[in-house]
Amino acid sequence: MTNGTVRDRSVGSGLFRTGVQQQATGSARVNATSITIRRSRVQRYSATLRRQLASYLFIAPALLFVAIFLLYPIVFTSYLSLFRWDGLHTPQFVGFANYMQLLTDPAFRTSFQNSLLWVVGTLLFPVGIGLTLAVVLSRLRLERGLKLLFYLPYALSPTSTAVLWGFLLDQQGALNVVLRALGLEALTRSWLISPPWHTALMIAAYTWLTAGTNMVLFLVGLRTIPPETVEAARLDGATPWQEFWRIVFPQLRPITLVVVTIALANSFMVFDLIWVLTQGGPFRSSETLAVMMYRESFVLFRLGYGAAIATLLSVIVLLLSTLYIRSMLRKEQY
């Protein structure tokens, strides 16, 4: 570290000291960032060990709570999916029978179809409208004012949204009243008990709730696009349509991927809205996978079966998330 005759005038106590080396020639060198460890090796090691153990104390509460309340249940649910259990008697091991049963269960077929409807609907409407709003609002420079309006539903809960829309869609609710006023009496119906309208309208409610958040994310993405690219295209005579598809949209790809993946994953997990509006009814016709899981577990007390549905749901959502995580990792390589 240093040469020949050096007198040490270190200051500070504890494990670390700031070293001040005074050369034999008399000039002092102070290296504020060089740290001289003056203890013996054994003491150094045990102090470090003590510090390591102490740092685990910082982590312990978080790890403990998450392990008990979140991680253990995940393991338990997957394991439970191999059993048949009503919550009272001892569980019976049935292997993959639950999963096999799903394949032939008409309720599952309906749930799966509805979930697909939700996925497609979510891509078209909350994401599509969110993107459109973001592009249009930023073009018209109206972001500040209108952003709040579209985004405000996010502060509402899915439950409040369900209460609101339930009221609008009621037999005597606003929608039917308007239809009647327009002379379209024939179109009125009990929306929430008519398949497939109930699912379609619940997707509309969901759009009202979530399009704003997608819009905000897209606005953030739009802000990162260098305006020169757009101006250059405009100077070359591109139409607004071309401008969007050829210049803007490709540069939005990272944020689009984020929004789409999150929206897709969420669309599988929608529960509150559906449960409050229809409980998956009538006769389970508006159930999705998430709702079916709840009904099988806590209404019909077929917990093993419910666990199988939950596990399947997790596999689907995890697959979607890996797509997203992989793209994020790829992004970090840039």
Partner 1 sequence: MRFLSRFFLPIGVGLLGLTWLAPFAIALLMTLKSQREALTRPFWTFPSTIALFENLRFAWEIGKLQFGFRNSLLYATAGAAAAIIIASAAAFALAILRPRASFLIFMVIFSGTLFPFQMHIIPLFRMYQDFGLYDTRWGLLLFYMTISIPFCTFVLRNYFTTIPREIGEAARLDGLSDFGVYLRIYLPLSLAPITTLFVFEFTWIWNDLLFGITLAKSPEVRPIMAGLASLRGVHSASNPPGILAGALLASAPTILVFLGLQRYFIRGLVLSTRG
Among positions 89-128, residues that touch partner 1 (CB under 8 A) are: none
CA distances from 83 to 183, 239, 290, 304 (A): 56, 61, 20, 5
At 16, the amino acid letter reads F
316/324 Cα distance (integer angstroms): 13
Which positions from 190 to 209 touch partner 1 by CB under 8 A, shown as an x/- string? ------------------x-
**CB 175, min distance to partner 1, A:** 10
Q: What is the DSSP string of 227-255?
A: HHHHHHHHHTT--HHHIIIIIIHHHTHHH
CA nearest 112: which of 323, 313, 271? 313
Among 116, 146, 200, 225, binds partner 1 (CB under 8 A): 146
Which residues within the stretch 219-278 sit at the binding site for partner 1 (CB under 8 A)? 220, 239-241, 255, 258-259, 262, 268-269, 271-272, 275-276
Among 158, 222, 286, 295, binds partner 1 (CB under 8 A): 158
Which residues within the stretch 45-64 sit at the binding site for partner 1 (CB under 8 A)? 51-52, 54-56, 58-59, 61-63
Q: Are 260 and 221 in contact (CB under 8 A)?
A: no
Residue 26 or 75 having the CB closest to partner 1: 75
**CB 3, min distance to partner 1, A:** 26
Q: With binding defined as CB under 8 A, does residue 184 bind partner 1?
A: no
Q: With binding defined as CB under 8 A, does residue 129 bind partner 1?
A: yes
Count other Cβ atoms within 10 Å, centred on residue 141.
Answer: 7
CA distances from 113 to 194, 268, 308 (A): 16, 11, 18
Q: With binding defined as CB under 8 A, does residue 159 bind partner 1?
A: yes
Among 1, 88, 103, 140, binds partner 1 (CB under 8 A): 140
**CB 152, min distance to partner 1, A:** 7
Assess whether the previous peptide bond of 196 is cis (omega < 30° from 0).
yes
Q: With binding defined as CB under 8 A, does residue 42 bind partner 1?
A: no
**CB 67, min distance to partner 1, A:** 8
CA distances from 198 to 71, 169, 175, 191, 300 (A): 35, 9, 13, 6, 23
Q: Which residues contact 24 (CB under 8 A, 6 or more apart)?
A: 4, 5, 6, 7
Residue 117 or 312 having the CB closest to partner 1: 312
**CB 24, min distance to partner 1, A:** 27
Binding residues for partner 1, how many (CB under 8 A)? 100
In sequence order, what are the beta bridge partners of 6?
Answer: 23
